[in-house]
Structure 1
Amino acid sequence: MISVRKSSERGKASFGWLDSRHTFSFGHYYDPKHMGFSALRVINDDVVKPAAGFDTHGHKDMEIISYVLQGSIQHKDSAGNVQTLPAGEFQLMSAGKGILHSEYNASATEDLRFLQIWIEPNTFGGEPDYQQKDFGQQLGLTTIVTPDGQDGSLKIKQDAKLHQLILQPDQNFQFQSTLARKIYVHIVNGKLGLAGITLSQGDGGKVTGESKLDFTNHHNANATALIFELP
């Protein structure tokens, strides 16, 4: 079963310096039908104006993934990490028992666009952790996040995986999981076919009771999706 969440149906927030689209309830946007999916709690598509950003604020017991689509993030946290996260890179910050951090657009002239993703952990407390990596833009499936950090992936405190799928025009791909897993698909850019449904940029799909998903790209440009395997 696949339940589609169209991009146009997402919640909206605009503060002058920030323009955001919320797949799930977040901040001032509340929809009891969209409070998350399994351990996946937040997917925010954020556009931040030049030299603006999120002032220092705190998190606790949350796995926070950032994926930069345009521009770069200037990150600073109370664990001593001071990093620049350029377009194409993934960041995973495990908040653990508590961490303070800030995120700013590192450019004074260009917008920053990134996906902010929250996944609830299955272990609580502990020391905060920070990971950052560029996984490239290879065609096909690239595993980004796993519970054990296998094959150089980022290690998350949850029985969850995150994959990046990139298909070129006229390319197909079959994704295999197990019936026990819940799957969430988020289209980063382009258009992909899934079970006879066309998903476009910003669209998402909740998948349950399916062990095989057939993706197709019958359009004239590459398409990128994030695929979450969830408990």
Structure 2
Amino acid sequence: MTRHSFSFGPHYDPANLGFGPLVCHNDDLLEPPAGEVAGYPEHPHTELEIVTWVLEGALVHTDAAGGRHVVEAGRAQVLSAGTGVRHSEVADASSGRCRFIQAWLTPSVAGTAPSYVLGEAPPTSSGLVDVAGGDGLPIGTSGARLLVARLSPGESVVLPDGPRQHVFAATGAVSLEGLDLRAGDAVRLTDEPGRRVTATGPTELLVWSFA
């Protein structure tokens, strides 16, 4: 099951093609039947920065060049597709179901060589932490940052400065200065720096910020 924040594949919406360089923000849940594989068989990508953040279980990436990466819950992967890659993405059978968020961004420079990089989970109780861009994993989209916070009820964070913010409640629930977001909800902010997000339940918050 996949929930799309933007126009994607057959779900075409010309009024919702992206937000700045962010052209895809998918919430995927893979539930493999017993003895079977769930996920996406080998497929191509070109000229995209693809950021995957696993919330539950583990996701196995296998590419046509023989590379294999297991991205466990609380880890991120950045795939710079560049001139072209082919890969598959399936739930790790030993970990059961897998839920992950995947974002696609347009790169600042075209024609680069494909590459993968993996990162660890940010520390808990440390507010918003860069996962990709900024102090996090390198990403080929200038000014783009993915920040993650794990919040206890009543805990709050201030959104980073930037002309565009994509705020997503992956789990739990938050209040964005009176606007309530439940798990799976997102809001897009333009030229509204310094907004405060407060958790109303145990929450994992994902924020894309664009300079």
Whether the TM-score (by the shorter chain) exceeds 0.5 is yes
Question: Could you give the per-residue CA deviations for residues 118-165 of structure 1, whole angstroms, max 9, x where no partner exists?
Answer: 111111111111011122451211111116xx3xx1101112111002
Q: Distance in 2 between matches of 1:109 and 1:69?
A: 12
Q: Greater strand share, 1 or 2?
A: 1
Question: Could you give the per-residue CA deviations for residues 176-202 of structure 1, whole angstroms, max 9, x where no partner exists?
Answer: 314xx2111111111111121011111
| Aligned residues of 2:122 and 2:131 also touching (Cα < 8 A) | no
User: Is 1:208–2:177 an aligned residue pair?
Assistant: no
Q: 2:157 is matched with which residue?
A: 173
For 1:145, give the aligned amino acid: A
For 2:107, give the aligned amino acid: P
Q: 2:131 is matched with which residue?
A: 144
Q: Distance in 1 between matches of 2:95 and 2:75?
A: 20
CA 1:79–1:42 in 2, change beyond 3 Å: closer, same or farther?
A: same
1:60 to 46, 62, 67: 46
Provide runs of 4+ in structure 1 moved above 3 Å. none
Q: Distance in 2 between matches of 1:134 and 1:109?
A: 18
1:113 to 96, 99, 104: 99
TM-score (structure 1 length as normaliser): 0.83
Gaps of 5+ in 1: 1-18
| Aligned residues of 1:135 and 1:142 also touching (Cα < 8 A) | no
Q: Distance in 1 between matches of 2:65 and 2:109?
A: 19
Indicate the SS of the match to 2:159: strand
- Percent identity reads 32
CA 1:126–1:79 in 2, change beyond 3 Å: closer, same or farther?
A: farther
For 1:156, give the aligned amino acid: I
User: Is 1:27–2:9 an aligned residue pair?
Assistant: yes
User: Is 1:158–2:141 an aligned residue pair?
Assistant: yes
The Cα RMSD (Å) is: 1.6
Q: Distance in 2 between matches of 1:167 and 1:107?
A: 29
CA 1:109–1:142 in 2, change beyond 3 Å: closer, same or farther?
A: closer
For 1:37, give the aligned amino acid: F
